[in-house]
Structure 1
């Protein structure tokens, strides 16, 4: 590794792999983002609204994801990287604040902040990495963010094509990362250039997922406090809590999926698993977001029969389980049929009980989540009982 400033910027693999205080502080901006996105979805509760909210979530998630990888490569305690984290945090808060009206007047704030975050990161890192081989990697990433930035900004100005242009931008950003940013005359990054510290990145994923669960509880708690403490709303609040606990248990047991260990064991190619985990965490967090919206609607009107709310409540756990099952397959190489059956059961219950109240539907979904969360334990007990 070369000497001088570039060497001091890079995180050494032998030092502490735990996230720094500033990284955890940076995650706080994600609470605001999820809160504003949940309000955007609640205000536009339909297929089109869900898709538009998903686009905004994908953009905000990509800001968090790229920043998490940056702090895996660079030492967050250096002044330059600390300043970069604060820059991204402020930009992320602007995006979050503009999210509920990103399709109705504040598209330029949202898109402009997104582009400024990614190009500003390059503007800081490229001069600092002068003379280091990793400068080329940063340059490739910056070029592709500049290309997608054109789409983001064009979408902000061309209202009728906004969703189409922003969809193209999201696809470009996500696909270029998987392709390792192939750039004319500059080639593409190797997996060795993209090697990550599995333990650090795994902890970052766990922390942001806990943040998402925390936002779910916070929003539901505020709604409950403002709506009253009658029996129906109290039962709805209790069901929300059990759902949050079940999702947390499913995610963290066993051992947070052992994602960090699996990444480290693969060496440089483990970056592919880390990237896939980033995509799948987006799916799981989308599930938590939908669960939060469904819980809020249920707490406000526990005996309502609104179909869109029923669909939202079922979609939340389904999205989470989809991401969780695929992540488990990637890490362990085993497909969890019992969790797939549980996910299908949730969908069937939602279809069959669409005329039931939100409270009853949530109780059914909660019961199924508990069975899924404890499925391995119950299966092992049954197996031991049969063998005895």
Structure 2
């Protein structure tokens, strides 16, 4: 207790797992992911794809900042619960505005994100009155004032191109502020806070699996909306295999070791700071693959255009880049198989106009299958050569790396 008020920060030795309110909050992400993949699938221009990516990256920031918020503050505290519910409603409103964020709902999208940031700080700052922890939300509010102004101005400008430029600048401020821990010129850096490894790892594992659920959801909905044919059913089966491979790669790789890595890593703070960006690459990659397979299932015999090629092959490549980066951060290595997989996806792209949508989807899945097969063989050999009592190795320390 502090002056008769319950502390909102997490207590040492308190709950270390995801709270049910956080799982409830994640339900809003389903709408975001589904609407984003749907917008990407229907876009025929690079500008439209860029707009969808910016919207997805902004809503990803909603999820990341809320996850960091609940890692620092207890979801059992009433002010924190109110903030989470408020952010959830705001995220749902932004998701609803996403398809027309660059049309007549720009102000709704931009002002809601600014309001989420400002509202969170204005609730937390009074709750931490008289405590040193108050410095963090104050600095966050200063950075959010700059970005929030750009978000609102961008929403007011009718030109989609100018709005995109302003929102890119606003998003850069948001991402830089978070990545640099909200520096203020002439002021010392914010003290590092003790993360909760189990909680943080579990949250990122949950959002990744939820993203895979979106891939499954949109392919089911797409198939159900069209007359069944051999081509569509084959495309649907190919998408399912791709989803299973994307799950296996994460669940049987570095993703499963995330909690241990955060807890044992000698560079824990760096791992905590890079986690959002690494998972962003994988989430965007999966959403791109989902959008690509939506179009493949709809028109399996057509020839792919440039945007479809970029979605499905670029999505697979982005996932592999993010997955390799996660391996580097967690296990201290970059798997060669993932590098080869990225090169293979790039190599297929020039031949895409001469293939059908179905063959392109099949080729993308083959790339993912090849990477998974190499990793499976490598792991089997590593397990076979390990001593019986050696168990799981801890992450490498920087000085131990070659």
Match of 1:354, SS? Answer: helix
Decide whether aligned partners of structure 1 residues 384 and 323 sit closer, same or farther in structure 2, where only a CA change above 3 A counts: closer
Q: 1:244 aligned to 2:248?
A: no
Structure 1 alignment gaps of length 5 or more: none
Distance in 2 of aligned mates of 1:11 and 1:282: 26
**Per-residue deviation, 1:34:** 1.1
- What is the number of equivalent residue pairs in this alignment? 381
1:36, 1:99 within 8 Å by CA — same for their partners in 2?
yes
Show the 5 A alignment for 1:215-226.
215-226=214-225
Distance in 1 of aligned mates of 2:374 and 2:108: 46
Instruction: Determine the structure 2 residue equivalent to 1:181.
Output: 182
Instruction: Determine the structure 2 residue equivalent to 1:293.
Output: 291
1:5, 1:128 within 8 Å by CA — same for their partners in 2?
no
Distance in 2 of aligned mates of 1:12 and 1:364: 50
Instruction: Determine the structure 1 residue equivalent to 2:199.
Output: 200
Decide whether aligned partners of structure 1 residues 319 and 85 sit closer, same or farther in structure 2, where only a CA change above 3 A counts: same
Decide whether aligned partners of structure 1 residues 264 and 380 sit closer, same or farther in structure 2, where only a CA change above 3 A counts: closer
2:303, 2:355 within 8 Å by CA — same for their partners in 1?
yes
Instruction: Determine the structure 2 residue equivalent to 1:35.
Output: 34
2:6, 2:77 within 8 Å by CA — same for their partners in 1?
no
Distance in 2 of aligned mates of 1:382 and 1:256: 20
2:125, 2:134 within 8 Å by CA — same for their partners in 1?
yes
Match of 1:227, SS? Answer: coil
- Structure 2-normalised TM-score? 0.90
Decide whether aligned partners of structure 1 residues 220 and 195 sit closer, same or farther in structure 2, where only a CA change above 3 A counts: same
For residues 172-231 of structure 1, give each alpha carbon's deviation from its aligned partner in whole angstroms, at most 9, with x where no partner exists. Answer: 11111222111256543122xx33112211110010011111111111101101112211
Instruction: Determine the structure 2 residue equivalent to 1:163.
Output: 164
Match of 2:61, SS? Answer: helix
Show the 5 A alignment for 1:11-50.
11-50=10-49
2:286, 2:315 within 8 Å by CA — same for their partners in 1?
yes
Decide whether aligned partners of structure 1 residues 384 and 280 sit closer, same or farther in structure 2, where only a CA change above 3 A counts: closer
Root mean square deviation of aligned Cα: 2.0
For residues 327-366 of structure 1, give each alpha carbon's deviation from its aligned partner in whole angstroms, at most 9, with x where no partner exists. Answer: 1111211111121102211221232243111111111221
**Per-residue deviation, 1:383:** 9.2
Q: 1:304 aligned to 2:305?
A: no
Decide whether aligned partners of structure 1 residues 371 and 143 sit closer, same or farther in structure 2, where only a CA change above 3 A counts: same
Distance in 1 of aligned mates of 2:340 and 2:265: 31
For residues 82-133 of structure 1, give each alpha carbon's deviation from its aligned partner in whole angstroms, at most 9, with x where no partner exists. Answer: 1111100000001000011000110000001101111000111011111111
Decide whether aligned partners of structure 1 residues 378 and 223 sit closer, same or farther in structure 2, where only a CA change above 3 A counts: same
- Structure 1-normalised TM-score? 0.93
Instruction: Determine the structure 2 residue equivalent to 1:52.
Output: 51
Instruction: Determine the structure 2 residue equivalent to 1:316.
Output: 315
Decide whether aligned partners of structure 1 residues 189 and 238 sit closer, same or farther in structure 2, where only a CA change above 3 A counts: same
Instruction: Determine the structure 1 residue equivalent to 2:272.
Output: 274
Distance in 2 of aligned mates of 1:134 and 1:20: 22
Distance in 1 of aligned mates of 2:183 and 2:381: 52
Of stretches 46-55 and 109-118 in structure 1, the one that deviates more from structure 2 is 46-55
**Per-residue deviation, 1:162:** 0.9
Distance in 1 of aligned mates of 2:110 and 2:4: 32
Of stretches 60-69 and 37-46 in structure 1, the one that deviates more from structure 2 is 37-46
Of stretches 34-43 and 330-339 in structure 1, the one that deviates more from structure 2 is 34-43
Of stretches 71-80 and 251-260 in structure 1, the one that deviates more from structure 2 is 251-260
Instruction: Determine the structure 2 residue equivalent to 1:69.
Output: 68
Decide whether aligned partners of structure 1 residues 79 and 232 sit closer, same or farther in structure 2, where only a CA change above 3 A counts: same
Decide whether aligned partners of structure 1 residues 127 and 364 sit closer, same or farther in structure 2, where only a CA change above 3 A counts: same
1:5, 1:129 within 8 Å by CA — same for their partners in 2?
no
For residues 28-65 of structure 1, give each alpha carbon's deviation from its aligned partner in whole angstroms, at most 9, with x where no partner exists. Answer: 10110111112222232332222221111111111110
Of stretches 308-317 and 273-282 in structure 1, the one that deviates more from structure 2 is 308-317
